[in-house]
């Protein structure tokens, strides 16, 4: 992944202000960067000017799906509870996200004003990226996901002060809620204080959650920063 990932950019900027805040949001297995575009106007961000970057994962064979080629951030080798995954591909995807961060730095964005978000497989990349990147980020949003590289991550690097929100569905039969709870525990052992919320839903997002995410996004950008 030496080239910049293709992506969709959506700006929420009702007052036509200079963009100072960015969310890089990673989709799940088999989806695309268009997957979460519709949530932007539902977040209730008011006058806050935010650029959303929704990258498209590369097309790769996925072992648990019979080797079928589809958009994926990494290969899933066995669909056990903890998942057997290709950690080298997770690392490569995380470094590809670094390039998107660097693009925003070139656009004049402070890294502390960047939130990394991910749903399902994209959330696993968001976890790994946040704790291996050289850039100090503002927030980490992990949705219906799991900490795939928890055994490889021994410390949180430069992001020891990152704000973390973990959301999960009570009835998620794709990524069981216990994996979200385990991620929360792993982050606490690393010295972080994640906020963990559950919603009466399956492997998806819901409107109440989207409103809560919007409030959280505003709180991240408001913490010691000009919004």
**Catalytic residue annotation:** 120, 172, 203
Q: Which two tokens stand for residue 199?
A: 């919603």
Cα atoms in the 13 Å half-sphere on the side-chain side of 92: 15
If you ran DSSP here, which 8-state letter would residue 127 be given? H
Positive or negative torsion for Cα 183, 184, 188, 189? negative
7-12 β-sheet, strand order? 7-12, 50-55, 21-26, 114-119, 139-143, 163-169, 195-199
* The pairing of beta strand 21-26 with beta strand 195-199: unpaired
**Helix H or strand E segment including 45:** none
- DSSP per position, 142-199: EES---TTTTT--S-TT-TT-EEEEEEETT-SSS-HHHHHHHHHHHHHTT---EEEEE
Measured at the alpha carbon of residue 84, what is the angle toward residues 73 and 175, in degrees to the nearest 5? 70
Q: Which two tokens stand for residue 10?
A: 């959506």
């Amino acid at each position: 992944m030496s080239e910049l990932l293709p992506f969709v950019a959506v700006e929420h900027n009702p007052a036509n202000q200079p963009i100072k805040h960015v969310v890089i949001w990673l989709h799940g297995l088999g989806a695309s960067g268009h997957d979460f575009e519709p949530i932007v106007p539902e977040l209730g961000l008011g006058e806050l000017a935010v650029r959303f970057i929704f990258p498209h994962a590369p097309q790769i064979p996925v072992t648990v799906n019979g080797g079928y080629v589809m958009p994926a951030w990494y290969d899933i080798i066995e669909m056990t509870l903890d998942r057997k995954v290709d950690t080298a591909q997770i690392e490569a995807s995380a470094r590809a996200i670094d390039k998107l961060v660097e693009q925003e730095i070139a656009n004049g964005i402070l890294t502390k004003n960047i939130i990394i978000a991910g749903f399902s497989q994209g959330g696993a990349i968001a976890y790994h990226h946040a704790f291996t990147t050289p850039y100090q980020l503002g927030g980490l949003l992990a949705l219906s996901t799991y900490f795939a590289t928890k055994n490889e991550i021994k410390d949180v690097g430069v992001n020891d002060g990152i704000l973390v929100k973990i959301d999960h569905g009570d009835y998620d039969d794709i990524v069981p809620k216990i994996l979200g709870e385990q991620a929360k525990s792993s982050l606490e052992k690393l010295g972080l204080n994640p906020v963990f919320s559950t919603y009466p839903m399956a492997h998806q997002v819901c409107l109440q959650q989207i409103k809560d995410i919007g409030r959280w996004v505003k709180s991240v950008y408001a913490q010691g920063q000009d919004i």
